[in-house]
A and B are shown apart, each in its own frame.
Chain A
Amino acid sequence: MQTPRSDGRASDEHLRALSVALDTNSRASGSSYVELGNTKVSCAVYGPRRPRVDDLTVNTGVIDVDVFRVPFARKRAIHVERGRENEREKDLNRSAADVELSARIADVLRACALTETFPRAQVDVYVTIMDSDGGEVVASVLAASAALARAGVEMADLASACELVRIGERLVLDPTEEECERGNGKVFLAQMSSEEGMVQGETFGRWTADESRRALEQCAAGCNRFDTIVREALAKS
């Protein structure tokens, strides 16, 4: 007998409802709006355009990602930590965590997009996190890859992502913020679902090698289910 989860889901393997809307922004080359439970992310892709000189690469295109977080999507105000009060991080909406999140999403997109198809050009991806209740990285990856596809950027495959949290002995898929806080281990996986190629994986906490492998497998199954939903939305549009 499995304990139902705090948000009413019956099983640890259940994902939250994912809804994907495309072309939500009339000015962008491609755009999307993704809701994963209470987590809401909007993404707009602009370009291709001529890159700045210092970003110019010869054989491949550039994908630049910026993640913004609306102030009310934050749970608490950020405290300025010791030694972290430098210029770039003074702006409360651009914490180091968000800059890192941008870099992570950029890594995923660069692995999936065929950047050699638009050499000497740049595509800008703007991700806006509008509400956050766990899984904001998952929602951001799904939104960005859908928007990139809508913008007509050639990709090896769509990127899909999923998270998992270990609470005691339970492995809970697609956790809410509250479940994340109770957990003592967390796995994030971004993959290309048609090939099951791991694009980015992060495991935190203490695991045996077997447990860690099993958690990744469960995440991969979650990725596949999200991937199907995004694919359906793209096919319909």
Chain B
Amino acid sequence: MERLFYSIKEAFRLIITLDSEMLGIVSLSLGVSIAAICFASLAGIVLAYALAFRKVPLKAFVVSTMNTFMGLPPVVVGLVLYLLLSRSGPMGFMKLLYTPYAMVIAQVLLALPIITAMSHASLVAVRPAIKYAAKGLGASDAQASIAVVRYARYGIISSVMAGLGRVMAEVGAVLIVGGNIAGYTRVMTTTIALEYDKGNFELAIALGIILLLIALILNSALYMYQRKVYR
């Protein structure tokens, strides 16, 4: 019990004193996850729109695959990516293994199916009348498509938040392709795992608290946004 209290007290001390090692880990985590979520959102929303409203070859297969891959085990993604990026792999020449870029790619692969599948579900729920209404008010085809995406924006934002939650909490894939190198590829989740192994709970608890706080802030912002509109 004494150790638990000591660890919690030390964790808060690290947070309050803005420990430089901790801040470096948090900023790298945020940088990797935000970059990944930007790429995954852009690709996922465009893909979801195409799957919802355009003629896409093997549409049913792609939708089923995206739905299935929502539960993709991160270690499997990490393993496959490791094999592709390792020196003897087909993409080894790019020398991306054990870099933050490899971590971004891994997180994109994890977030993409979630954002695509959830955005697709939101978009197909928009009645054709909304697109017709936009065109009937003078919108071009592209503007009418934006009106449809805007109509589904709460579901789409939720999908992005779910994707962000997934990548920020994920440990297996970034550990394999990032290598957990101190000051270079060490992020919050991999540090927590490492510090737990070492029996040093202070930094692990501090990072756990920050991780929860970030999730709380993001979800509260989404909730406030939705309430503002539906008040």
Whether A associates with B in a native complex is: no
A residues with a Cβ closer than 8 A to B are none
